[in-house]
Chain A
Amino acid sequence: MTKRKAFRTAFTVLVTLVLLVLLWEGYKWMGQQTDDHWPGTQFGLPVSTNDLTMPHSGDIFNELTEEIRAGRETLPLTVYLAKKAAFTFLEAAIGFSLGVIVGLMLAIFMLRWRFAERGFLPWINVSQTVPLIALAPIVVTWARLQGYPDMVGISLIATYLTFFPVAVSGLRGLQSPDSSDIELMHSYAASWSSTLIKLRLPAARPFLFPAFKLAATLSVVGAIVGEISIGTKTGLGRAILDFSMRYAVWPERLYSSVIAASLLGLFVFGLVNAAEWLVIKRGREVLK
């Protein structure tokens, strides 16, 4: 059952990929035929189809196997990107973990004290309207002045993005039990903390996991933006920065690094999915 489901998912992903490549190449081919105009009209295409703007998908994939010089050694672009991605993953993972802790603590705090919900929630919402590009240098400069490695500042930027969905969905989840469930715990003379642990937290899981998935992908975005704004020496953000400077020469490389970033996002998303399956698979079996 689950095996078949996994197979179907893999199949769908593959078909989607093929369709995307066909769409990309089809659009490019059409543009090349009509000199970037909609067929039979004077209207220009929104995106130019030349090799600089839209390199052939095949070239992008080929580029992945090309050697690249990194410092004193040369290695295939795939390995190069994987190494950078591993570093970014570490920053994102630290940021994600901190964000989950901070978000959960805020949610519990707001649950415990209603005035905190009224006072905090607007600020939590405002926090996400601050442009990351403006915030990143502040955090990074602070971390550097404290003498921390760059990784600390970058992870904190990832935390800043990840705590938000966890806090907001967490609060909703903690408030989700029926009043009769709360009355039941009350009838057992259960303390506030036992009610939290035995009822509210387990009941919040269906709200928390979607938030974790969002937070996981946001943590990668936060880490990359952090790396770019700090000008750090490694990480996917660095690779994207380098390749974007040489875009005119090697557009395929920038595309490759973008693919690497989305693969990393998919990877962390998958990790959270696996955790969810482990934690809430129980009770999902339906009696046949």
Chain B
Amino acid sequence: MRDNSEALEEAVSVESADKVFNSGSDNEVQALLGIDLNVKEGDFISLIGPSGCGKSTLLRLIADLLSPTAGEVKVFGKTANQARLDQDYGMVFQHSGLFDWRDVSANIELPLELKGWSKADRHVRSREMLKLVRLEEFKDYYPRQLSGGMQQRVSIARALSFEPRLLLMDEPFGALDEMTREHMQVELLRIWRETGTTVVFVTHSIPEAAFLSSKVVVLSPRPGRIHSEITVNLGNRTDETREDPEFFQATTEVREALRAVEAN
């Protein structure tokens, strides 16, 4: 969809960011400490770590849903706040967060509606998005009529409907069964390739991180710090890739990093 001339630009840059919750009170929590993270445009980055490591908090700093206590977060060279106001990113949560009272098309069109798009334009775009996530025949269905995997696909279509350059995903497949999950991973990679969107993906599944990402960022808990970054190069991934020795090696590498984190 987008040409690659602007590739290799910095999509996200986090510099020595700290996040403290309930600062000054008895239950003060140091959620993140000295985070440095760079995401190049077109990258697919996974954030992985044991629960409480602050991976979702880090995602929310990038999304400007939370502000860092110290340090700086930039998205496409702007402050995270400006990037949110400019809607440079789309977001997908663990629970699809589709609105029950809107059918599939209307859910996908929600961000466009908020931007003031005309009805005709919204229709054209939601049709395109439904095609992208392969749910054309379900446009008039309501969320509760869809399976969990289909709901998550609608949620992805909604996040991409206004063509953001960055997609932030917070354990989007965490609530899906294993088979659906693997299928959704392949679908997500196809969408990623077709749209050229940069993805920051939070997960606690080792094979998921290894399969999807070009770079896996391993976080350690209390306080949340970046433990290591593992570069993965599996090339064009299909379901067969899961049986490749390279995939096995990548998961092993991520697993060992996580073990090192747990041992600390």
Binding site for B on A (CB under 8 A): 178, 180-181, 183-184, 186-190, 194, 198-199, 202-203, 205, 280, 282-283, 285-287
Contact in complex: A189, B87 (CB < 8 Å): yes
Contact in complex: B114, A194 (CB < 8 Å): yes
CB < 8 Å: which of B91, B93, B113, B145 contacts A285? B145
CB < 8 Å: which of A180, A202, A280, A287 contacts B93? A180
Residues of B within 8 A of A188 (CB): 87, 110-111, 114-115
Contact in complex: A198, B84 (CB < 8 Å): no
Interfacial residues of chain B within 142-198, with CB under 8 A of chain A in the complex: 142-145
Q: What 12 additional pairs, Cβ within 8 angstroms, besides A180-B93, A188-B115?
A: A178-B97, A180-B95, A181-B99, A183-B91, A184-B91, A184-B93, A186-B65, A186-B84, A190-B114, A285-B142, A286-B145, A287-B145
Contact in complex: B95, A283 (CB < 8 Å): no
Q: Which 5 pairs show the lowest CB-CB distances between chains A and B? A: A283-B142, A287-B145, A187-B91, A180-B93, A202-B101
Binding site for A on B (CB under 8 A): 60, 63, 65, 84-85, 87, 89-91, 93-95, 97, 99-101, 103, 110-111, 113-115, 141-145
Contact in complex: A184, B145 (CB < 8 Å): no
CB < 8 Å: which of B60, B65, B110 contacts A198? B110
Contact in complex: A283, B91 (CB < 8 Å): no
Residues of A within 8 A of B97 (CB): 178, 180-181, 184
The answer for the CA separation of A283 and B97 in the assembled complex, in Å, is 16
The answer for the CA separation of A180 and B113 in the assembled complex, in Å, is 19
Contact in complex: A202, B99 (CB < 8 Å): yes
Residues of A within 8 A of B93 (CB): 180, 183-184
Residues of B within 8 A of A194 (CB): 114
Nearest chain B CB to A177 CB, angstrom units: 9
Contact in complex: B103, A283 (CB < 8 Å): yes
The answer for the CA separation of A190 and B60 in the assembled complex, in Å, is 17
Nearest chain B CB to A61 CB, angstrom units: 45
Contact in complex: B89, A283 (CB < 8 Å): no
User: Contacts A184-B97, A194-B114, A202-B101 given: A189-B142 contact, CB under 8 Å?
Assistant: no
A-B pair count, CB < 8 Å, reads 59
The answer for the CA separation of A190 and B101 in the assembled complex, in Å, is 19
Residues of B within 8 A of A203 (CB): 99
The answer for the CA separation of A226 and B43 in the assembled complex, in Å, is 70
The answer for the CA separation of A235 and B85 in the assembled complex, in Å, is 57
Which single residue of chain B is at the shortest CB-CB distance from A286? B145
Residues of B within 8 A of A198 (CB): 99, 110, 113-114
Which single residue of chain A is at the shortest CB-CB distance from B96? A180
Residues of B within 8 A of A187 (CB): 63, 65, 84, 89-91
Which single residue of chain A is at the shortest CB-CB distance from B60? A183
Nearest chain B CB to A276 CB, angstrom units: 13
Residues of A within 8 A of B142 (CB): 282-283, 285
CB < 8 Å: which of B60, B87, B100, B114 contacts A283? B100
Which single residue of chain B is at the shortest CB-CB distance from A280? B101
Nearest chain B CB to A21 CB, angstrom units: 43
The answer for the CA separation of A180 and B92 in the assembled complex, in Å, is 10
CB < 8 Å: which of B89, B99, B115 contacts A199? B99
The answer for the CA separation of A203 and B102 in the assembled complex, in Å, is 11
Which single residue of chain B is at the shortest CB-CB distance from A206? B100
Residues of B within 8 A of A283 (CB): 100-101, 103, 142-144
Contact in complex: A282, B101 (CB < 8 Å): yes
Which single residue of chain B is at the shortest CB-CB distance from A191? B114
A-B contact pairs, 7 of them (CB 8 A): A183-B60, A183-B91, A187-B91, A194-B114, A205-B101, A286-B145, A287-B141
The answer for the CA separation of A190 and B115 in the assembled complex, in Å, is 9
The answer for the CA separation of A186 and B60 in the assembled complex, in Å, is 11
The answer for the CA separation of A188 and B97 in the assembled complex, in Å, is 14
Which single residue of chain A is at the shortest CB-CB distance from B90? A187
Residues of A within 8 A of B63 (CB): 183, 187
> Counting chain B CB atoms within 10 Å of each CB, which of A180, A187, A190 scores highest?
A187
Residues of B within 8 A of A205 (CB): 101
The answer for the CA separation of A199 and B113 in the assembled complex, in Å, is 13
Residues of A within 8 A of B141 (CB): 287
> Counting chain A CB atoms within 10 Å of each CB, which of B103, B114, B141, B145 scores highest?
B114
Contact in complex: A183, B85 (CB < 8 Å): no
The answer for the CA separation of A186 and B95 in the assembled complex, in Å, is 16
